[in-house]
Amino acid sequence: MINPFNWMHWIVLFLVLSNFIPGNGGVHKSNNHTTSFCTNKPVQNELKSWIIDGEYIVQFNQYLTELGRSKILQSALMAIPSSAWHIAVRRNPASTLLSDFSLLKVTDISYQATALLSLRNHSYVKYAFPEKKIQRTLNHFHLGDVDTEDLDYLGETAWNTRKIKTLTDTYNYNDKNETEHPNNGGRQLRSVTDQITSIMNAKIIWDKGYKGTDIAIAVFDTGLAKNHPHFRKVKDRSNWTTEKTLDDNIGHGTFVAGVIASSKDCLGFAPDADLHIYKVFTSKQVSYTSWFLDAFNHAIQKKIKILNLSIGGPDFMDRPFVDKVWELTANGVIMVSAIGNDGPLYGTLNNPADQMDVIGVGGIDFQNNIARFSSRGMTTWELPSGYGRVKPDIVAYGSNVQGSSLSGKCRSLSGTSVASPVVAGAVALLASSISNDVVNPASIKQALLHSAAKLPNINIFEQGHGKMDLVKAYEFLRSYTPHASASPDYIDFTDCPYMWPYCSQELYYSCIPVVVNVTLLNGMSVSGEIVDEPVWHPYLLNQGNFLEVSFSYTRSLWPWAGYLAVAFSVSEKAAHWNGIVAGHINVTVKSQDATMQEIISVIKIPVKVKIIPTPDRRRRILWDQFHNLRYPPGYFPRDNLIMKNDPLDWNGDHIHTNFKDMYMYLRRNNYYVEVLGSPFTCFNASNYGTLLIVDSEEEFYQQEVEKLQRDIEKFGLSLIIFADWYNTDVMEKIKFFDENTKQWWTPNTGGANIPALNFLLSKWNIALSDRVYDGSLFVRNKKISYNSGSSIAKFPHDGLVLSASLLNQGTTIVSGKKLYESNIPILGLHKLPNGGRIIVYGDSNCIDGSHMQQECYWFLLALIKSSTNPSEIRDFPLTKWSSIKNLFSSSPKRSANSKFHKYSKVVDLKDDVSRFREIPKCNNFIPAHTVPLDIGIEIINRKESHEPTVLNSLRNDKLVKNEGNEVGKPGKSNAYIHPQKTERRDIILVTGCLLTSIIMISYLLCCFPSCRLKRFKYRLNQCHGRFYRLL
């Protein structure tokens, strides 16, 4: 008789081993953990913000009494009738305190412009900024409404901290959850009921007698019940909303407070800390900027030491909010904030977590994987002309963490708003263990960054400095000496994948300078200054003189921080050189201590960069960043009109944010992509084969149009445009009226600015139409999704076009009628005699990661190759434009009501006449002060360092090896692979797992008929010990 255990042994062994195959999708591992038997419906979490028409936050130059503020406003608005405006009454705990702002309501719209001008000209007024409303909603929905990829993470609650686009997750209220998680790499299996404090080894610090005593920590959230049994030191509760209760009716504020300071059951990190509860969101999850400002002022006067903001705040263009955060940290308040739940997309950070003086926290699960919901860097403040800073600062456990529930029990939640109180509670514990003189926003941040454990195979814009290590941070602070430091603390373009995207593309002569934005932290004082100027020290023995370095920086470091933008370019003498150069940057910071004694600290930033010979121009692509606009502050709508839950285009449209996967695809195919953050007048066309304009919203200067015409016709530059929809009727249809703010929100442009693109292309008789189409087409037997794209209205007679049968989505949106049309020209190719090629495609969604339904990177690559080799697209079903019936001649006109000029860098409006602004000057990178050193360091050639890193977001962003597709070295077996090349193996493994599961279940039902299914897990060992150990 065959022993079933022999074959069962091999089957189970196959299943276990399949978990460790790189890129394996056979046994799917998502970031969520198996939920307990009792879970609620999935919820969708949305957070929106609106400008309230007619309401303005008037910021004064100093703190004043209510009477003093009123007199200033009366003086400033003397020319306006008193019936046209009034000061809003704020009824909250700060109403009797000094304040630096008033909330002004201008009820007569005809006086708004006059009122703003009068306020801005008054000597006591700093500025007047629109009031904003913030609303978060949790929507229950059925599984049938969930996209396929969303099913991977049903089982967690990702509390959103930004805007509309979120994950779909669940939460549970179980007191105990015995679920074991899939093991990744041999780590110990962990139950989600493990106390987060025990996982983080808080007991080591507790045993030394520190539990957060005398540390005032504020929780800005949804409130807390008065007699909740988990808390023993709630110092005060305050209500900043219009509700009449201090209690938490949602449960989010209670949970956050529990992670920080619960003293029983699900323990918090600092149970003896003094809790200050600030209710800034109503039960309907509504808040206003003015509520936050009042609460922040109150926190400053209460001498709060640590402030946790899990919910997040308005966008980074909300100047009163941003300025108040700076003031908070300047007063010594350590702010900890969640970076948001809009991952795995890049460029999705939340404010204020994206500020330099704030500790921005991302989320990981208990297997040390970056949680899929966790937002990714870079910051987008600096776009289009600059480059974003590194965020998050650190990551912490944020998946299925236990905390306090409304009922006084424990429950599990997930999200970066869970990871944030983990760090805030740890900071409170650390602050109680050291001298108060050492504790400040910079020193605590330095301790967390210095002690963080770098996670393998994860890049810097996902994990920052790594996973928080509480014990090492404690040890660092115990021996802390005030100093200045940098984040990141080194620049190594060969350290892949951690230094992605810097390590993904080598530098070469004539490339546009690559900028690394370094944050400088000053632990010596709230203010400091950079002495003289930063110095570049090239190592001559490592050919450091081949690297040209320039700096842009803040001379003053306030509050506690500043920035140093380092631009790298390659010297002409290295145009044909291949190798790694090295050196270091020195930055000297001067501050004063509490006794007014001068302190000097020198920051040393090691630098290592890979240089290669200048590639052929046909391999060089120039990405137009200058003409991309995004929210905030304007209403720039989504490119895919089907995605109604995410109305704003807010990811920056950068090759390292929502176009990251497209960029990596081009890199894998040995193309070099450079970013142009300035007008077209600032680049040398002879260096590039293709200019790529994707989803542009900005207008074009006349000088740009003229130069581009010369570049294409005389220098052979090819132009590829991926456009999007533009239709004024659709724009009117998707505007919305907010009942609370009584204001209409109208898009400032369409998915792309088609009138501007038509102006750019008019010389060649090329134009896109105002029709909006949706559907799909097949090219090379591959499906291409066409989502809310435009069609071609005009094209040269000898040009080639590709047509498709599509749904007229514009008609459907405007009238509700579905109209399908055939022979719609959506791709046009025109070759100029003795010049370059112009390629126009009506939609960008298939290369944009934000709302992509199906990628078409291969399609983009074929078009790029066709610019130099027309045979690349010989199998495309192209026809001449002359054979197309001219039904698409209508070109869209610019919307008259869009207020586009308010957000444009190119056009302005004066006396109701549109005019061009002055064209910006080209970036002039001034060489840094250089002091060569006749030394060198040992250069270790990492095989992976010169290869682009593939981040597979569908498999938790794991590194996937490629067979025979290394950039510049075809056929090498240890290069990286595009995720789709593992699909066949995934299907085989999944099928094997399903068959094995069926066999195992049959075996178990035969062998264990006495085991009750409900208690199977606990009686399995009694039934068959050997099988349990094998399993």
Cα–Cα distance between 908 and 901 in angstroms, integer?
Answer: 5
Alpha-carbon separation of residue 32 from 164, 400, 707 (angstroms): 21, 8, 52
- Active site residue: 252, 465, 656, 946, which one? 252
Tell which residue, 625, 691, 675, has the closest CA to residue 653. 625
Tell which residue, 831, 806, 801, has the closest CA to residue 820. 806
Tell which residue, 77, 135, 138, 139, has the closest CA to residue 102. 77
Tell me the residue type at 681: T
Beta carbons of 87 and 103 less than 8 angstroms apart: yes
Residue 191 backbone phi and psi in degrees, to 5: -85, 140
Tell which residue, 593, 523, 599, 93, has the closest CA to residue 334. 523
Three-state secondary structure along 149-216?
Answer: HHHHHECECECCCCCCCCCEECCECCCCCCCECCCCCCCCCCECCCCHHHHCCHHHHHCCCCCCCCCE
- Active site residue: 36, 102, 375, 417, which one? 417
252 in active site: yes
- Active site residue: 100, 169, 221, 774, which one? 221
Q: Which residue has the tokens 């276990």?
A: 16
Beta carbons of 979 and 950 less than 8 angstroms apart: yes
Which tokens sit at 36?
């307990």
Tell which residue, 724, 749, 435, 422, has the closest CA to residue 594. 435
DSSP bridge pairs for 168: 44
Please tell me whether the peptide bond between 501 and the residue prior to it is cis, using omega within 30 degrees of 0.
yes
Alpha-carbon separation of residue 852 from 152, 305, 570, 659, 788 (angstroms): 17, 44, 36, 10, 12
Three-state secondary structure along 394-422?
Answer: EEEECCCEEEECCCCCEEEEECHHHHHHH
Tell which residue, 857, 859, 856, 864, has the closest CA to residue 876. 859
Most distant CA pair in the chain: distance in Å? 102
Q: What ranges in 821-872 are assigned the alpha helix state H? A: 857-866
DSSP 3-state assignment of 180? strand
Three-state secondary structure along 690-702?
Answer: EEEEECCCCCCCH
Cα–Cα distance between 546 and 539 in angstroms, integer?
Answer: 10
Alpha-carbon separation of residue 647 from 46, 75, 102, 147, 746 (angstroms): 12, 41, 31, 18, 11
Q: Which residue has the tokens 């905390």?
A: 403
Please tell me whether the peptide bond between 497 and the residue prior to it is cis, using omega within 30 degrees of 0.
yes
Q: Which residue has the tokens 């790529």?
A: 692
Q: Which residue has the tokens 């002309």?
A: 385
Q: Is the four-CA dihedral 13, 16, 22, 27 of positive or negative sign? A: positive
Task: List the catalytic residues.
Answer: 221, 252, 417
